[in-house]
């Protein structure tokens, strides 16, 4: 699916990662491929940060690479779109 000019979404949901069901619903309704990004390694932090309500609808999750995580997400998303690969 394509929405206007967008062909995918790279998102850092911040605090909404853990309980943002309305954000999850909006992302799902958009019908675009999603990659979730976190600047810090959320799995090296408090236990409650390990659960994401976005991860199950995302193609993947990148955490702990700082700002470079956004570049990695963009490279992966572009490659997947070019390959036509829905699930990698």
Active site positions, annotated: 38
Cα 72 versus chain centre, distance? 12
Phi, psi of 60 (to 5 degrees): -170, 175
Phi-psi region of 9 (alpha: psi -120 to 50; beta: other; left: phi over 0): beta
């Amino acid at each position: 699916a394509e929405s206007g000019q967008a062909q995918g979404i790279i998102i850092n949901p911040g605090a909404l990662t853990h309980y943002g069901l309305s954000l999850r619903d909006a992302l799902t309704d958009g019908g675009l491929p999603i990659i979730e990004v976190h600047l810090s390694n959320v799995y090296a932090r408090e236990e409650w940060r390990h659960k994401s309500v976005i991860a199950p609808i995302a193609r993947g999750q990148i955490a702990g690479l700082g700002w470079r995580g956004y570049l990695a997400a963009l490279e992966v998303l572009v490659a997947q779109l070019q390959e036509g690969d829905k699930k990698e």
